[in-house]
Amino acid sequence: MGFVGHLSRRIARLTILMPVILALAVLLAVNVTAPRAEALDAEETAILDTINSYRGQHGLGPLALDPRLNDIARWMADDMASNNYFSHTDSHGRDPFTRMDQLGYALNTWRGENLVAGTETSAAAFEMWRTSDGHNANMLGANYTVIGIARAHNPGSTFGWYWATEFGGQGLSVQPPVQPTPEPAPYIPPPPPVTVPPQPVAPVAPAPVVTVAPPPAPTIEVTAAPVNAPWWHILALDIQWRDSSSTTGRSLAALIDGVFSFQSSFRGNLVSTVR
């Protein structure tokens, strides 16, 4: 029973201390992760307006002030002023990108940094950046959307005033919109198949048959020669039989008849004369 009572008292103490422990953990988390989000002074605000106006003249959108980048710029300006140096490599030996990662802007996006020293005013700082190709390219970077700006002063340092601007392609406070899941399209059944009844095929009329009557066979008129007819009459009849449309046979017969008639008459006259 003594052990059980002792255990019960320890559990009761833990129960009382648990809210205090949880509250302390929340405070520690807030102190570690929450940005300071210090307000810009007049010159810092002026250079933000000048840079955005300059971007607008080149068809670019303005840069929004990002609290996390602003804290990184504030740290860098203070570090240079406090430690009396002017370089992109800080007092811990970190380059700008390592510094951004470790100070809370560890995003896989476009990032850049501009530094200037020895001037108090925003107008002079902007003009130094504008006339330097690399710094000017950062101010007109089309991939940048957010910026952090800070300046720090140390009268006992070499340059007195130190400026830092940090550029980023994505703001931490802006979350990409969640794309809604499109609803599936309602199922539309396919239309029933259309049955096309067979169309009657019109009979094809046969081509007309043209009957061509053969020409009549030529009629051959055969004239039989008398038995005792002269030979030239028989020849004339043979010619006429071979070509019924020709008068050659009759003409030839008449010609020969005339020759023989003249010959007989001439012979008779000659006999009479000789006598």
* Cβ within 8 Å of residue 129, ≥6 positions away: 114, 116, 135, 136, 138, 139
- Print pLDDT tens along the chain (275 aa): 555 555 556 555 544 444 433 333 333 333 333 345 568 999 999 999 999 999 999 999 999 999 999 999 999 999 999 999 999 999 999 999 999 999 999 999 999 999 999 999 999 999 999 999 999 999 999 999 999 999 999 999 999 999 999 999 988 654 444 556 677 777 777 777 766 666 666 666 666 655 556 666 655 554 555 556 666 555 555 555 455 445 555 565 566 566 555 555 545 544 444 43
The pLDDT value given to residue 48: 96
Cα-Cα-Cα-Cα torsion 70, 75, 79, 85, nearest 10 degrees, comes to: -30
Q: Which residue has the tokens 């370089």?
A: 87
The pLDDT value given to residue 27: 32
Burial state string for 76-102 with b = 16 or more CB within 10 A and e = fewer than 16: bbbbbbeeebeeeebeeebebeebbee
Cα-Cα-Cα-Cα torsion 164, 170, 172, 174, nearest 10 degrees, comes to: 130
pTM for the model: 0.52
Amino acid identity of residue 144, one-letter, is Y
Q: What distance in Å separates the CA atoms of residue 69 and residue 35, rounded to the nearest whole number?
A: 9
Q: What distance in Å separates the CA atoms of residue 1 and residue 10, rounded to the nearest whole number?
A: 15
Q: Please list the residues that pair with 115 across neighbouring strands.
A: 164
The pLDDT value given to residue 11: 52
The pLDDT value given to residue 19: 43
The pLDDT value given to residue 190: 75
